Each structure stands twice: as structure tokens, then as C-alpha cells.
Structure 1
Amino acid sequence: MTDPQAKDAARREARVRRDAVDDADRPAAALAVRDRIAALARDGHLPRGAVGGYWPLGSELDARPALLHLNRLGYHACLPVSGPRGTALVFRDWGPEAPMAVGRYGIHEPAEGRALRRPSVLLVPLLAFDRGGHRLGYGAGYYDRTLDMLRDDGAVLAVGVAFAVQEVPAVPVDGHDERLDWIVTERETLRINK
């Protein structure tokens, strides 16, 4: 098991790198990621169905342009709703006109009454990633639990979304950490061989 202090130190370092991305560069990076994810869909790498995204928190790369583009291609766009710590995320239908609520941790999420969806593709935020498909999250385990549950219940494709500067040589991992299938940055699209 990885030393929790090592993971916390890695999170602090990763947040500093991500926070340092210039605000002027962020919109272009989000559009580049959108185009790369659109290419994955066009080339048949993304299974049809619902695609789960996320509402950007702090300095996270904004995946909403990719999510909206996939919606126009016929995917059902959905965003997560955070339950109590220690539980998996649930996903509700989302579109730009959807009523939103402020949920746990101050993150925007679709309001009550929106249809529940089971993503076949999940765009995953992160603090850091490595070329082995490992991701460093915030430490609450929401995405690891969600991926574990979705994979137990059938297929789901996990696509890590990040700025290229978030890459590290090796992410500290534990046995419960779920690997990604793809990682998409503004510079490249990485298919993870497992």
C-alpha cells in the first residue's frame, strides 16, 4: 500500500502544476481535447450510449465542450451527483439548458428530476496521470468506486481528461485505484494497454 503522505505530497505538487496553466491557454486546451475525443468517437473507439462528464472544479480542464460535442453526435450527456463519502457517483441527464443545483463540495450538478443515466463512456477528471493509465484524484475515491461499480455491472470506457503538464513519471497507486482506458490531453491521445 502506498504511503498516504506520499499521495498527499503528490496531490499538492500536481495541483500546483495544474493551477499554473495560464488562464489564456485553458479554452484552447478544452477545444483541443474536444477535437481529440470527437476523433475517438468518429473512429469507433467510444461505445454508444451515455457519456458521463464532469463540471470543472477549480483549475480542472473543462470537459464540457467535449461532452456537448458528443451530445450533438447522439450520445446522452450526463453529469455526476456526489452522494455521501464512500459511495459511487450517480449520473443525471445534462444539457446546456438543464436546471442545475450546487451539490456536495460546491460542484454544479443536474437538479433533482433529471433522468438517471448509466455511462458507457466516462470522462474522468484528475490531478495527475502516468502513461500506465494511473490517475491521481483528490482522495475521496468517488471515481474509483464509480469505475469499479460500472465495470462490475458491464462495460465502461474510462477516458482521463487533463492538461499535458499533469503527466508524471509514476502515480502512487493502491489496490483500489482504477486504471484509465485512454488519456486525452491538448497534445495527445494515449491508449492504455492493460
Structure 2
Amino acid sequence: MTDTRAIKDAARAKARAVRDAIADDPLRQSAAAVIRDRVLADVDLPDGPVAGYWPLGSELDVRPLLLHLHGLGRPIALPVSGPRGQALTFRAWDPALPLAAGRYGIHEPGADRPELVPAVLLVPMLAFDRTGHRLGYGAGYYDRTLDALRAVRPVLAVGVAFAAQEVEAVPCADHDERLDWIVTERFALKL
């Protein structure tokens, strides 16, 4: 194990504890709506599909934002996790249709749903800093995905989290992709 890997693993454990502590906080209930409104008011979303995620564990819930955008007629996608080491793919999400249990038990659209290439990617995280670095679970899915998408066309990466997940500096490596925005229940920061 490299020093960077060990440092990241320790930071992940600490960050997960911080995020998990918010689980019973009334903030969790209101944060999803506040972040929906903050993204809509502050972030200039380019045209095209918006890819979100189905919240896992104590992740911030972006479904209120996804439902609002869907109601406006925006194409919405959710990620499909393939084998470790590969970029995510995205399938169209329709809230009226059932989801399948995917890899890691995460809810995702079924194989019958069309694939979409997002113009906007809402990114979950364990921690973030004000330089646009994020700390994920360590499999590299979002870094590979952003790298692959950005090699083809611009994609707006919007990290969403609770403000309490901010750290002074996220340990990072050369392959870590930066976010374009960070949105919390307290602020929206363009990077």
C-alpha cells in the first residue's frame, strides 16, 4: 500500500464518521430541498442530460433536485457500476419505473433503459476541499468517469455534500479529477 493510499483510507474513515453523524440530524431532511434550490438558483446548468445518483447510506439525497429537473422535462440519468476500474455508464431514469439492484446493492435503472451521456454530473462524496478535490470511496469510478467524459466533451461536475464534510485539504493524486462546483446546504462554490 502506498503512503497516499493509506492517507486516503484514514481520511475516508474520518470523513465517513462525520457524514454518518448527520444521519439523525434534522438537517438531513431539509438539506436535500435546500441544495435543490441552491443548484437551481446558483449553478448555470448546461443543456443536456443530468446524471445524479441514488443515495447510498448517509450520502446526501439529490432526488428532490432530480425530480424537479425531470418535471421540467430534463433527461435524468443514474449511474450503472460496471467492473472495478472502469468508468460509470448512465441510463435514463424515470421515477415511475422500478429500479434494479445493481453492483454494491445500489439502485439503478434496468438494462432496458437507454444509455445517456451526461452534460451535468452530480457527484457524491465523503469529503471535499475548496480547491475542488473530493474524497470518494476509493474505487475511482467518478475520477475515471469524469476523465472519460471530459476527453469527449465538456461536462459540469457538481459535488454535493453537507457543509460539515468540508476539510482543509483532501489528499489527492495526479489522476484525481477536480469538481467545477461544490454545493452544500450553506453555500454554492464555483471553482
Q: TM-score range, shorter-chain basis? A: over 0.9
Distance in 2 (CA, whole Å) between partners of 1:134 and 1:2 is 18
- What secondary structure, in the 3-state scheme, does the structure 2 residue paired with 1:180 have? coil
- What secondary structure, in the 3-state scheme, does the structure 2 residue paired with 1:75 have? coil
Given that 1:2 and 1:173 are in contact with CA atoms closer than 8 Å, whether structure 2 keeps it comes out as no
Q: Which runs of 4+ in 1 moved over 4 A?
A: none
Which letter does structure 2 place at the counterpart of 1:84? P
Q: 1:170 to 1:49 in 2, by over 3 A?
A: same
Which letter does structure 2 place at the counterpart of 1:117? L
Kindly indicate whether residue 37 of structure 2 is the aligned counterpart of residue 38 of structure 1. no
Write the deviation string for residues 35-87 of structure 1: whole angstroms up to 9, x where unpaired.
0111135xxx1101100000001000001111111222332111000000000
Given that 1:2 and 1:172 are in contact with CA atoms closer than 8 Å, whether structure 2 keeps it comes out as no
What residue number does 2:92 align with? 93
TM-score (normalised: structure 2): 0.96
Segment of structure 1 superposing worse, 31-40 or 143-152: 31-40
What residue number does 2:48 align with? 49
Segment of structure 1 superposing worse, 72-81 or 143-152: 72-81
Using the aligned pairs only, state the percent identity. Answer: 65
What aligned pairs does 1:52-67 form with structure 2 within 5 A after superposition? Answer: 52-67=51-66
What residue number does 1:156 align with? 155
Distance in 2 (CA, whole Å) between partners of 1:111 and 1:87 is 19
What aligned pairs does 1:20-169 form with structure 2 within 5 A after superposition? Answer: 20-23=21-24, 24-40=26-42, 45-169=44-168
- CA apart distance, 1:22: 4.2
Structure 1, unpaired ranges of 5+: none
Which letter does structure 1 place at the counterpart of 2:6? Q
Which letter does structure 1 place at the counterpart of 2:32? A
Write the deviation string for residues 116-171 of structure 1: whole angstroms up to 9, x where unpaired.
10000000000000000000000000000000000001010000000000000000
Q: 1:94 to 1:166 in 2, by over 3 A?
A: same
Q: CA RMSD in A?
A: 1.2
- What secondary structure, in the 3-state scheme, does the structure 1 residue paired with 2:143 have? helix
TM-score (normalised: structure 1): 0.94
Q: 1:22 to 1:140 in 2, by over 3 A?
A: closer
Given that 2:4 and 2:173 are in contact with CA atoms closer than 8 Å, whether structure 1 keeps it comes out as no
What residue number does 2:6 align with? 5
- CA apart distance, 1:99: 2.1
Segment of structure 1 superposing worse, 118-127 or 66-75: 66-75
Given that 1:52 and 1:78 are in contact with CA atoms closer than 8 Å, whether structure 2 keeps it comes out as yes
- What secondary structure, in the 3-state scheme, does the structure 2 residue paired with 1:144 have? helix
- What secondary structure, in the 3-state scheme, does the structure 2 residue paired with 1:18 have? helix
Structure 2, unpaired ranges of 5+: none
What residue number does 2:15 align with? 14
What residue number does 2:182 align with? 183
Number of residue-to-residue matches in the alignment: 189
